[in-house]
DNA sequence: TCGTTGAGTCAACGGTTGTTGAGCGAAATG
DNA sequence: CATTTCGCTCAACAACCGTTGACTCAACGA
């Protein structure tokens, strides 16, 4: 146990990291309400009071735990667009970051998670709308986003057998035409 | 207030109905965890203890509140299939029964709601798989179901502006090609 | 070396929640 | 009319939760 010998700053950094990891795991698995500060502390091998001392309250702990990477920039043609989406699916199915899972898990029942989800999905829609042309570009971008949301929810959160049984490549292959049907006319 | 004069059986029936209506409303709006027996009782204008007396516990109240209509039987061709799905969307967007909304709202955070959702979606997939032909019939049926789930979640539960701003017919029109892309070859 | 800082613990409070048991009063029953 | 039934309320309990304040002790800076 060389941990006791670490300098103060480093020790603090690691403990905070352990708490955030535990929080992400539990929020992703159970959602905001069913995750207790006590359980997070137990998993991080720390006193519950320390979690409060570091993060103020449960709300703020959640906020810090679900900080998610920003959506990359736009400017793709139709083909690249579809492959980008199917790629995120592959990514999602493989190892979607637990911070995103935590947000998705709580988005239907926790007001702030819902707000975060709306913002994230809104950015995704904006980004797609830039690469989609023709009429109803924005609506089509929104529907593409909803398709990906539905598949991700079914696969990652509901863990439906029908999606778990097949490979990510197979899902991408079968789903591809549906996304292509929503990309606008070629430029 | 002629209610006081009603016969016992009728009075009981109406009170139970009021409780179930209140429960459905709150479960659909807040999900299982954030809905309290006390809030349900308040909305039904009844003492909290009465809810327990009638339904035993919160779990059973939820079970009774989310009883959902069974999925109709199969045997459609590809066109009918797509229109059936888009029709449920119209239905969903208009007035999806609150019992279904209650189940959907809690499916990511409440274990039993998740089980119900898996069962309901599983039946939907079975039903579609009967009307879809060719290879990967089951996977394609599952993806069609996930598409509808994603659109419904985005529209009904997350209430995304991008979907709320347009009419249900417009959504159906733009979404149709994506569903058609998943129906098998014509018989 | 000595005082200060800060990581981490301990025990407790106040509030909310699901749940229970005793009891009231009006309707049903004979 | 007397008695039983039962819809319904009242008050309380036990458990759990987020949160707080006082405290311990080792690392740090002068």
| Per-residue pLDDT at A1 exceeds 50 | no
Token reading at B69? 């209509």
Q: Which runs of E-coded beta strand occur in A32-161? A: none
Task: State whether B170 and A108 contact (CB < 8 Å).
Answer: no
Single out the residue of A149, A48, A24 nearest to residue B149, CA to CA. Answer: A149
pLDDT given for residue B92 in this prediction: 61
- Per-residue pLDDT, averaged over A34-55, amounts to 98
What's chain B's average pLDDT? 91
Domain made up of B78-180: CATH architecture:
Orthogonal Bundle (1.10)
What CATH number labels A2-65? 1.10.10.60
Task: State whether A162 and B125 contact (CB < 8 Å).
Answer: yes
| DSSP string of B33-90, one letter each residue | HH--HHHHHHHHTS-HHHHHHHHSSHHHHHHHHT--PPPPP----HHHHHHHHHHHHH
pLDDT one-digit tens code per residue, A139-165: 999 999 999 999 999 999 999 999 999
| Per-residue pLDDT at A94 exceeds 80 | no
| Per-residue pLDDT at A28 exceeds 50 | yes
Instruction: Count how many Cα atoms sit within 13 Å of the Cα of residue B182 in the half-sphere of its side chain.
Output: 32
Task: State whether A148 and B145 contact (CB < 8 Å).
Answer: no
CA distance B20 to B63: 10
Specify the residue for token string 């998740």: B114
Token reading at A52? 């409060």
The shares of helix, strand and coil residues in chain B, as percent rounded to the nearest 5, are: 75, 0, 25
pLDDT given for residue A17 in this prediction: 97
Cite the residue boundaries of each domain of chain A with CATH code 1.10.10.60.
Answer: 2-65
| Per-residue pLDDT at A3 exceeds 90 | no
| Per-residue pLDDT at A31 exceeds 70 | yes
| Per-residue pLDDT at B78 exceeds 60 | yes
B:37-96 Cβ neighbours of strand D under 7 Å: 45-50, 53
Task: State whether B177 and A179 contact (CB < 8 Å).
Answer: no
Residue of B nearest to A31 (CA): B109
Per-residue pLDDT band for A93 (boundaries 50, 70, 90) equals low
Per-residue pLDDT band for B56 (boundaries 50, 70, 90) equals very high
Q: Please report, rounded to whole angstroms, the spatial distance between the CA atom of protein residue A50 and the C1' atom of nucleotide D24.
A: 14
Q: Please report, rounded to whole angstroms, the spatial distance between the CA atom of protein residue B41 and the C1' atom of nucleotide D10.
A: 15
Within 10 angstroms of residue B72's Cβ, the number of other Cβ atoms is 10
**Preferred mutation among A35, A89, A108 to probe B, highest tally of B CBs within 10 A:** A108
Within 10 angstroms of residue A171's Cβ, the number of other Cβ atoms is 22
- Distance (Å) from the C-alpha of residue A112 to the closest C-alpha of chain B? 12
CA–centroid distance for A102 within its chain: 7
């Amino acid at each position: 146990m060389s941990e006791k010998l670490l300098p103060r700053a480093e020790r603090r950094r690691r403990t905070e990291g352990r708490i955030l990891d535990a929080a992400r795991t539990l929020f992703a698995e159970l959602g905001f309400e069913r995750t207790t500060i006590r359980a997070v502390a137990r998993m991080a091998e720390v006193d519950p009071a320390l979690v409060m001392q570091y993060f103020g309250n449960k709300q703020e702990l959640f906020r810090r735990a679900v900080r998610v990477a920003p959506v990359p920039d736009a400017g793709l043609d139709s083909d690249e667009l579809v492959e980008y989406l199917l790629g995120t699916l592959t990514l999602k199915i493989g190892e979607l970051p637990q911070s995103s899972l935590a947000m998705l898990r709580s988005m239907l029942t926790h007001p702030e998670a819902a707000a975060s989800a709306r913002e994230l999905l809104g950015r995704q829609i904006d980004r797609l709308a830039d690469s989609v042309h023709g009429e109803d570009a924005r609506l089509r971008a929104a529907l593409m986003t909803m398709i990906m949301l539905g598949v991700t929810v079914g696969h990652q959160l509901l863990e439906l057998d029908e999606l778990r049984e097949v490979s990510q490549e197979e899902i991408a292959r079968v789903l591809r035409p549906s996304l292509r049907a929503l990309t606008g006319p070629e430029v």
